[in-house]
Chains A and B, each alone.
Chain A
Amino acid sequence: MKKALLNFLHRIEPDKEKHPLLHTVYDGFFTFAFTPNLVTKGGVHIRDGMDLKRLMVQVVLALQVLYLFGTYNIGHQHFVALGEYTGFLQGVHLKLVYGLIQIIPLIIVAHVVGLGIEFFYAYKKGHGIEEGFLVSGALIPLIMPPDIPLWILALSVAFAVWIGKEAFGGTGMNVLNIALLARVFVFFAYPTYISGDEVWVAGLSSLAPGAAADYGWIHLSVFNPLFEALNLPGYNPASAVVDGYTGATPLSLAFHSGWEHVTEVYTDAQMWWGTIPGSIGETSKPLIILGALYLAITKIADWRIMFSAVVGAAFMAVLLNAWGATPFMEVPWYYQFYMGSFWFAIAFMATDPVTASATPSGKWIYGFLIGFVGMIIRVLNPAYPEGWMLAILFMNVFAPLIDYYVVQANINRRLKRAKVAA
């Protein structure tokens, strides 16, 4: 079986000289199927079983539960806005299919654009295809609003991979986190698609009461007949947004009118378990923490960064509580962790080893400052009630500086030791 597959793959291998681009792509897929037969040469004779592919894939695995929940939640929020199937487990087939119709194009576009650029540069520079985009490609759809236009997504991915990574030399060389770079590109270039109250629920023509649901032909002429055949309820194009629905996220409510107002709309459990509007993957805190624990236990993400980021955020939130000048500042510090994308950001973005601090003590400082600065941006910035994306990008830029001082301290320690000895 294995031999037959190997023989087949060797037979279809394109000529390296004649079709270099094709060969690069072939090589990428071949090394995906088979670990190469490379043996050690010079140096150590045996190698650890861990390589970049295995490392990256663990992160993607940790994200799978979020994909599952995020997909379902897209559908759930859509129907909550219409006032239909408001129970979480009502209309499961409708919500799941709705979510899949939304998310699959996002995944495809992100990967086609990102991998396309990666393949091209691998061919240009004449090296194998590197695995960096496996994680970025899995993260990017999760941090976008469900209704983001595909062309904007394509542009942002192209910007992030091209300017953010390949311009600096490829995987392992980038200064800024690729996934966040894609998001920040949308944030500054097309702010109306990624901020405000309107964008977090998919498939509505507007959020005004009475506005109709926006179904395409795939809902109405592919799945509706299918559901009918199965004797299940289908999508109803006459549904309209219910009275009093705003679509605002808890953060936005807290920002404008404080915690009291948030509790009028959402319960604690809703916010914690994540059945609220938001970016696709960010809402469910327990599942994110599950993924974070997996990464921390397998030592793929550094627990120091996550832990000190929580400490930093809590510390700043307590300080803001003590200050208490606006309703948002008075939100009890522990409730700050119920809202927004804090957990997702520190579990999957802050811990990116390429852009984070490299030294162990640097990681403590780096994580703490992300929590600290992020909470400042979330609460004090007058325009927009969230801060982790900007805080992490900000600290990405500062990570080399932190490392510089940590390394310099090591050098000074050594010099001092020499002086004492002399």
Chain B
Amino acid sequence: MNSIKSKAVLVIVAVLSANAAWAQSEGGSSGYGTYFIYGLIAVSVLVFFMIILQVADNLMVIEAKQSGVASTGANFSIFPNWKELFAPRLPEYLRGKPLTALRRGHNINLEGEAELVLDATAGAKTFAMQPFNFTGISPIPKLLVEVGDEVKAGDHLFFDKKRPEILYVAPVSGEVIAINRGAKRSITEIVILADKEIKYRELKGFDLDGGTREGLVQYLLDAGVWPLIRQRPYDIVAEHDVVPRDIFISTFDTAPLAPNLNFVIQGQEEAFQKGLDVLNKLTDGKVYLGLDGRGKEKPHAAFTEAKGVETHYFHGKHPAGNVGVQIHHTKPISAGDKVWTLGVQDVATIGRIFTEKRFNAERVVALVGAELKQAKYVRTFLGANIGDLINDNLANDHVRLISGDVLSGKKKTADEFLNIFDDQVTVVLEGDDFELFGWLLPSLNTPSISPTLPSTLFPNLKKRAETNTHGEKRAFVVTGNYESVLPMDVYPQELMKSILVGDFEKVEGLGIYELSEEDVALCEFVCVSKQPVQQILRQGLEMMREQG
């Protein structure tokens, strides 16, 4: 505190003395020209004085760095730096912690946030593994089961012909009742009718301290948790023969109506820590944990007290909780880097194959949205049937069911299943109605970043989400909107245009490896021209992946 005060005094003295110099130089002037000359002299005196001050100050900072005292990251300049002046007011638990404050972004405030109650009874009856959830897998994987087979949770279901080592397993025990196919005979769902009491395939266990990395990889592959690890760039299933540079986990979700992971982790603390220990063995780098630094709620002790990891706090609006944004601000992905990312519950699942010695893919899923009678959390397993989860909870039947959040989730029918990486079902109103002069009327219910809509004046007002596009698709017109919601050093609009014209070098140079769909979802939301930004990005990622 003291150092800040003394700095302020020094700065004020500097300004005052500069004023004195200016006042002196003004004497005895007449006419506009002389004013101008004297003004110039005053300015140059001021500039000269500031240069001397700046040079001296820099020398001091360099001195501090060379002597080694600057390693703490403290500010040794006499000028208060930007962060000190404008840093957000932080609660006690964030003091002195590594914190990145992100200024750009946007929170979409919607009605229908889940109450913090966990309904353990509302179980789904059917579950499914959906091969297309795993980006990069071939559309027709090799099946290891047939319709009518009885499987246990953790039994192998299929593998990708391109990578036969990676095995995909059943999330629950029961009878395989259907294998659904989509376009060109691709396999969309392997549906299992769950037993009342889940039976597990016994795993033989693995000695984490004594075993080799290779042995560990083999154990994870066999146990079926490998597909839960995702690899960037491209956001694909992790390659088993790759040692990742680092592993990143975000422990908070800032997406609209996203589940509160502090609540979700309750009861899974031990498994989560075990999972982190496992991940530490898989990388030569570090395991990074991104923590909620928004200051509203202290993160759960399982996150703050996690051992063997680097924790880093992030303050800001959505997408501050996206792992892609966190990677960008901790240790960005450059060409050639490969990093892994996981969800919090996926880490716990990995932990449980050590603590329980079985593939226990329990999931706490948030049912959210204004069209539900009660928005709440339910305990179920991976790939639960959405209709079973929603059951008779719907308050309105003209709705859209979404696996995931409203920005990057997927539209589902009641017969379909939760996607593998989603821990949220959102129910929103289907907005297929004409609106008279909709482009002119000020609407309070329409979320927007534009101050031309009055909803922007009340950022805390919760809106009832609906799916109308509020306009037709157009060519790119507006500039600067995408940048205003993406807190990364990336030019999204330039990147999208480069993808559309297929300019490989520029696409790579503009940082496509650092992005996945969820990171640019807000750009798509704010797009005035209603462009499909996420789809364009995926097209670019596929283009780059084919190039190798």
Chain A contacts to B: CB under 8 angstroms: 2, 5-6, 31-40, 42-55, 57-58, 128, 130-132, 169-173, 297-300, 302, 318, 321-322, 324, 332, 353-354, 356-360, 363, 403, 407, 410-411, 413-415, 417-418, 421-422
Measured between alpha carbons, how far is A58 from B440 in the docked complex, in Å? 9
Known A-B contacts A411-B509, A414-B511; A322 and B491 likewise in contact (beta carbons under 8 Å): no
B63 within 8 A of partner (CB): no
Residue of A at shortest CB range from B509? A411
Distance in angstroms from B472 CB to nearest chain A CB is: 6
Contact between chains at B449 and A48 (CB < 8 Å): yes
B27 within 8 A of partner (CB): no
Known A-B contacts A172-B529, A321-B36; A50 and B470 likewise in contact (beta carbons under 8 Å): yes
Q: How does the 8 Å CB contact mask read for B451-488 relative to A, with 1 for contact and 0 for none?
A: 11101000000000111111110111111100100000
In-complex Cβ contact of A297 among B436, B451, B474, B480 (8 A):
B451
User: For A50, A324, A357, which residue has the most chain B Cβ atoms within 10 angstroms?
Assistant: A50
Distance in angstroms from B412 CB to nearest chain A CB is: 11
Q: Which of B250-286 contact A (CB under 8 A)?
A: 256
In-complex Cβ contact of B530 among A47, A321, A357 (8 A):
A47
B494 cross-chain contacts in A, Cβ below 8 A: 358-359, 403, 407
In-complex Cβ contact of A45 among B335, B438, B467 (8 A):
B467
A42 cross-chain contacts in B, Cβ below 8 A: 532, 534-535
A298 cross-chain contacts in B, Cβ below 8 A: 450-452
Contact between chains at B470 and A51 (CB < 8 Å): yes
Contact between chains at A48 and B533 (CB < 8 Å): no
Contact between chains at A48 and B430 (CB < 8 Å): no
Contact between chains at B436 and A33 (CB < 8 Å): yes
A36 cross-chain contacts in B, Cβ below 8 A: 434, 469, 472
A58 cross-chain contacts in B, Cβ below 8 A: 452
Measured between alpha carbons, how far is A279 from B466 in the docked complex, in Å? 46
Distance in angstroms from A248 CB to nearest chain B CB is: 24
Measured between alpha carbons, how far is A51 from B436 in the docked complex, in Å? 15
B453 cross-chain contacts in A, Cβ below 8 A: 49-50
12 cross-chain CB contacts under 8 A: A34-B434, A39-B430, A39-B469, A43-B408, A44-B524, A48-B450, A50-B450, A52-B528, A169-B475, A324-B33, A358-B480, A418-B335
Distance in angstroms from A34 CB to nearest chain B CB is: 4
Contact between chains at A33 and B530 (CB < 8 Å): no
A172 cross-chain contacts in B, Cβ below 8 A: 474-477, 529
Known A-B contacts A353-B477, A353-B478, A418-B335; A46 and B108 likewise in contact (beta carbons under 8 Å): yes
Contact between chains at B483 and A421 (CB < 8 Å): no
User: For A318, A321, A418, which residue has the most chain B Cβ atoms within 10 angstroms?
Assistant: A418
Residue of A at shortest CB range from B537? A43
Contact between chains at A33 and B437 (CB < 8 Å): yes
B92 within 8 A of partner (CB): no
Measured between alpha carbons, how far is A353 from B489 in the docked complex, in Å? 21
A131-B474, A410-B490 given; name 4 further pairs at CB < 8 Å: A6-B434, A46-B467, A49-B453, A54-B452
User: For A6, A38, A322, A407, which residue has the most chain B Cβ atoms within 10 angstroms?
Assistant: A38
List 8 A-B pairs, minimum CB-CB distance, nearest first. A51-B471, A35-B438, A172-B475, A49-B446, A418-B334, A411-B509, A53-B439, A358-B479
B65 within 8 A of partner (CB): no
A300 cross-chain contacts in B, Cβ below 8 A: 450, 452
Contact between chains at A50 and B526 (CB < 8 Å): yes
Residue of B at shortest CB range from A50? B450
B534 cross-chain contacts in A, Cβ below 8 A: 42-44
A354 cross-chain contacts in B, Cβ below 8 A: 477
Contact between chains at A39 and B467 (CB < 8 Å): yes
B493 within 8 A of partner (CB): yes
Measured between alpha carbons, how far is A54 from B440 in the docked complex, in Å? 6
Distance in angstroms from B505 CB to nearest chain A CB is: 9
In-complex Cβ contact of A55 among B337, B409, B478 (8 A):
B478
User: For B432, B443, B479, B483, which residue has the most chain A Cβ atoms within 10 angstroms?
Assistant: B479
Q: How does the 8 Å CB contact mask read for B418-436 relative to A, with 1 for contact and 0 for none?
A: 0000000010101111111
Contact between chains at B471 and A35 (CB < 8 Å): yes
A417 cross-chain contacts in B, Cβ below 8 A: 332, 334
B163 within 8 A of partner (CB): no
Measured between alpha carbons, how far is A407 from B36 in the docked complex, in Å? 39
B525 within 8 A of partner (CB): yes
B406 cross-chain contacts in A, Cβ below 8 A: 44-46
Contact between chains at B477 and A411 (CB < 8 Å): no
Contact between chains at A52 and B465 (CB < 8 Å): no
Contact between chains at B447 and A49 (CB < 8 Å): yes
B86 within 8 A of partner (CB): no
Distance in angstroms from B288 CB to nearest chain A CB is: 15
Q: How does the 8 Å CB contact mask read for B128-146 relative to A, with 1 for contact and 0 for none?
A: 0000000000000000000
Contact between chains at B450 and A49 (CB < 8 Å): yes
Measured between alpha carbons, how far is A57 from B471 in the docked complex, in Å? 13
B479 cross-chain contacts in A, Cβ below 8 A: 302, 353, 356-359
A324 cross-chain contacts in B, Cβ below 8 A: 33
B476 cross-chain contacts in A, Cβ below 8 A: 172
Distance in angstroms from B244 CB to nearest chain A CB is: 14
Residue of A at shortest CB range from B331? A421
Residue of B at shortest CB range from A304? B480
Measured between alpha carbons, how far is A171 from B411 in the docked complex, in Å? 32
Contact between chains at A50 and B402 (CB < 8 Å): no
Contact between chains at A415 and B491 (CB < 8 Å): no
